[in-house]
Amino acid sequence: MLLLLLLLLLLLLLLLLLLLLLLLLLLLLLLLFYYYYYYYYHHHHHHHHHHTTTTSTITTSTTTATTTTTFTTTTTTTTTTTTTTTTTTTTTTTTTTTSTTTTTTTTISTTTTTTTTTTTTTTISTTTTTTTITTTTTTTTTTTTTTTTPPSPPPPPPPRLLLLLLLLLPLLLLLLPLLLLLLLLPLLLLLLLLLLLLLLLLLLLLLLLLLLLLLLLLLLLLLLLLLLLLLLLLLLLQLLLLLLLLLLLLLLLLLLLLLHHHHHHHSQ
């Protein structure tokens, strides 16, 4: 039992170590991607720009033309006055006869006065026409700004220590399960030997310890099942590690392809 407990503790420690190595590997990958991301972000957002500004101005002058037409007003007044005066004429005739004197008096008085006044007025009104032509000034300003960004150089290679750790960690992840299996095999053999010894002892003491034998057999079977389960867990863990390594290799290949493509693009 004590040996089994030690075995379980050792297995747990190895599993914890594997998990820690996996976490370390993921952290290194994140550090690598952050390194390139920071480089690109810093380079693309903080490099210097070259600006070229062109300004074009078009100005149209203003012309104002004013035409004034004035018609003169003429007023003509004509006045005609006609006066006719007829005087008074008195005629006296005296006839003398021998015996008789006859006096005949004839008086004709005629007075005629005629006054005619004619006034004619002609008025021509004054008309003034003013025509104003105004041309509006138009100013057009065109500004052209050209920004020239120098091509970014290829990113520097990652630190060698980071690459070395990225290469060593998968190897460690592969070796640790193998070491665990190598450690478990002697323990399994030892357990089998112990089982055989116990079986022999139980056979010798069969008559006296039959019940105890049954209990021990059950316990040993349980232990064997537990060991088999542990082996299955180790195999599953090994498969998981292989899948993680394949993913890591794919990520590294993608990163190398991106770097090669970026370097080829800048070299062109």
Per residue of the chain (268 residues), what is the pLDDT tens digit? Answer: 676 777 778 778 877 877 887 788 788 777 777 776 666 665 554 444 444 555 555 665 566 666 666 656 666 666 666 777 766 666 666 666 666 666 666 666 666 777 777 777 776 666 667 766 766 666 666 666 655 555 555 555 556 776 677 777 777 777 777 777 787 787 778 878 888 888 888 788 888 878 887 888 899 999 999 999 999 999 999 899 999 999 989 989 988 888 888 777 777 6
Q: Are strands 139-148 and 101-107 parallel, antiparallel or unpaired?
A: unpaired
Q: What is the 3-state secondary structure (H, E, C) of 138-202?
A: CEEEEEEEEEECCCCCCCCCCCHHHHHHHHHHHHHHHHHHHHHHHHHHHHHHHHHHHHHHHHHHH
Q: Please give the tally of structural domains in the chain.
A: 1
Measured CA to CA, the distance from residue 14 to residue 36 in angstroms comes to 33
Residue 230 lies in a domain: no
Residue 123 lies in a domain: yes
Residue 125 lies in a domain: yes
Measured CA to CA, the distance from residue 169 to residue 238 in angstroms comes to 15
| Contact residues for 233 (Cβ-Cβ < 8 A; gap 6+) | none
Q: Are strands 50-59 and 139-148 parallel, antiparallel or unpaired?
A: antiparallel
Measured CA to CA, the distance from residue 238 to residue 176 in angstroms comes to 9
Residue 113, SS3 per DSSP: strand
Residue 106 lies in a domain: yes
Residue 97 lies in a domain: yes
Q: Which domain, by its residues, includes 96? A: 77-129
Residue 111 lies in a domain: yes
pLDDT of residue 47: 46
Contact 139, 62 (CB under 8 A): no
Residue 108 lies in a domain: yes
pLDDT of residue 216: 85
Residue 81 lies in a domain: yes
